[in-house]
Structure formats: structure tokens, C-alpha cells
Amino acid sequence: MGIDRRKFIKASGLAALGLVSAAPVRLFGQHDSNMVDTTTPASPPSDGKPLVGNRWAMIVDLKKCLHEEGCTDCVAACHLTHNVPKFDNPKDEIKWIWKEGFHGAFHELGHKHLEEHILHSHVPVMCNHCDSPPCVKVCPTQATWKREQDGIVMMDWHRCIGCRYCMAACPYGSRSFNWRDPRPHIDKIDPNFPTRERGVVEKCTFCDERLAVGKLPSCVEACKAKALVFGDLEDAESEVRALLAEHYTIRRKPGLGTNPEIYYIV
């Protein structure tokens, strides 16, 4: 059954691709200008057409992010949209995006004489949608897989057997497990997004459900500092490419060869 559903999803993705290529919409690049204005509001014209990319990626501009000290708007927005439960006991915690201490996020990069404000900062982290994701390799049931058309590392909550091998394999601690029934712990259930059940793994999915209806990921939309930028790496005109060309960026644990697709401007 799962295979059928996946085939269906794939087929509808391709259909969408066909639709869009017939009427191309450029959402992130501005063709007519070489200068990319990174301060333009990131929310695209939400005309309901799916956002299509060949390799989605996210850029986190830490200069802007760290300016908003203590802000957790991205976390709140993501967790609200995706019915992520809140548990009092840290042991049961589930998180899709969160703020990690600089040392935790960039384990091998920091040193103790780093600028104070960086050393003690907290940077947003989430699933990196790795290009060679170890979590996908180890999953014994293909409940987690990399979407061919755009590189998003997806999860099928109905197929996951809860073995947590993916959690042992992810070098970024990006996955959470439903140790208990999550539903009683969701503040306000959004009926537009499925709630999960006990015993399965979950994580950030780059808001694939929003992309499908032409919306940007909710964290990107919620960031008042415009520190999060989402876009297609294979589109040479995209804002993410422009930012990568302009700034020095780092990634988490690059030496492992997982090729994370979240880039940080420092």
C-alpha cells in the first residue's frame, strides 16, 4: 500500500512539475536585476501553485538572527503548524527546529576566544535534508527517504516501525521519537496537518505540504529578521545562490560527507 501511495505522490509531483514548467513561475530569483535584495519580504505570491525546485536548501543568516536575541518565532511557527507536542519532561521532548548553543551546533568550529556574542549565541538548527542522508541509508523499511525531484528527506509515519535506527544514524540529532501519545500534549490541534501517533519518529520536512500549495516553509515566513532564506540551489538565479556567492557560509559537520543543505552565514 505504501508503495502505491508513494508512487502516487511521485506521480502527482511530476504532474505538478509539468504544470509549472508550462507556466513557469520564478519565486525566488529576480531575473531583471543582478543585485539581489535580500530584504524583500520572503513570502511569495501565494497563488496556490506548488513551489518547485530541484534542490531545496535553506540559508540562515546568523548576523540577522543573532541580532534578535532570544527570539524563537521560527520554532513557535513550525511547531504550531505541524502539531508538534510539548512535553514537560525533557526526556520525551519532540522538536523539529530549535535553537542550539553555538558550541553544540558547530561542535568542531568554535574556540574559547571567539567573540562573546557568538560564543554564547543560540542558532536555529533543524534537519539538514542532507544530500547523502545516513538516516535514509539505515532505515530498514524505507519509511524515511530522499525525494528525488527536490532532495527533501521525507518520512512516512505510517510505515515507520519505530526502531529509531535513523536517530542513531543522524549526526545532527535532528530526529525525535514519540515516546508517548503526542495528541494530549498538543496545545491546539491544527486539523490541516496530521498528528502523529505513539511509537514513530518525526522531524522537519521542509514544509513539503506548504510547498505543494505555493507557500514557503512556516519558519521562513515567521522570521521577522528575514534571517531564514529558502530556495532552489540548482536555480542559478535564486536568492540562495546569490547569498552563497556573496557570503562566507558554513555547514554543520561538513567532514562527515553528509552534505547538509542548511547553510549558515556567520
State how far the Cα of 27 lies from the Cα of 229, in Å rounded to an integer.
Answer: 12
Under rule CB under 8 A, residue 171 binds other proteins: yes
Which residue in 170, 199, 189 sits closest to 92, CA to CA?
A: 199
The residue from 81, 151, 258, 263 that contacts other proteins (CB under 8 A) is 258
Least gap, CB of 258 to other proteins (angstroms): 7
Contacts of 139 (CB under 8 A, 6+ apart): 145, 165, 166
Partner in contact with 203, chosen from ligand SF4, other proteins, none, beta carbon below 5 to 8 Å by kind: ligand SF4
Partner in contact with 90, chosen from ligand SF4, other proteins, none, beta carbon below 5 to 8 Å by kind: other proteins
Q: How many angstroms separate the Cα of 221 from the Cα of each of 62, 208, 252?
A: 16, 14, 23
CA dihedral 65, 130, 251, 232 (to 10 degrees): -60
Least gap, CB of 223 to other proteins (angstroms): 22
SS3 assignment, position 59: strand
The residue from 84, 200, 219, 243 that contacts other proteins (CB under 8 A) is 200
Residue pair 159/141 in contact by the 8 Å Cβ criterion = yes
Residues at the site binding ligand SF4, with contacts judged by CB under 6 A: 127-130, 133-135, 138-139, 141, 143-144, 153, 160-166, 170, 172, 174-175, 201, 203, 258
Residue 22 grid cell: 508550462
The residue from 61, 100, 150, 239 that contacts other proteins (CB under 8 A) is 100
State how far the Cα of 166 lies from the Cα of 175, in Å rounded to an integer.
Answer: 8
Under rule CB under 8 A, residue 92 binds other proteins: yes
x/- track of binding to other proteins for residues 28-67 (CB under 8 A): ----------------------------------------
Give the Cα-Cα-Cα angle 92, 96, 101 (nearest 5 degrees).
85
State how far the Cα of 161 lies from the Cα of 159, in Å rounded to an integer.
Answer: 6
Partner in contact with 208, chosen from other proteins, ligand SF4, none, beta carbon below 5 to 8 Å by kind: none
Partner in contact with 127, chosen from other proteins, ligand SF4, none, beta carbon below 5 to 8 Å by kind: ligand SF4
CA dihedral 4, 6, 12, 13 (to 10 degrees): -160
Under rule CB under 8 A, residue 90 binds other proteins: yes
Instruction: Name the residue with cell 568542531.
Output: 108
- Within residues 150-169, the interface with other proteins by CB under 8 A covers 159-165, 167-169
Given the rule CB under 8 A, which residues bind other proteins? Answer: 2-3, 90-95, 100-101, 103-105, 107-108, 134, 137-143, 159-165, 167-173, 176-181, 198-201, 253, 256-258
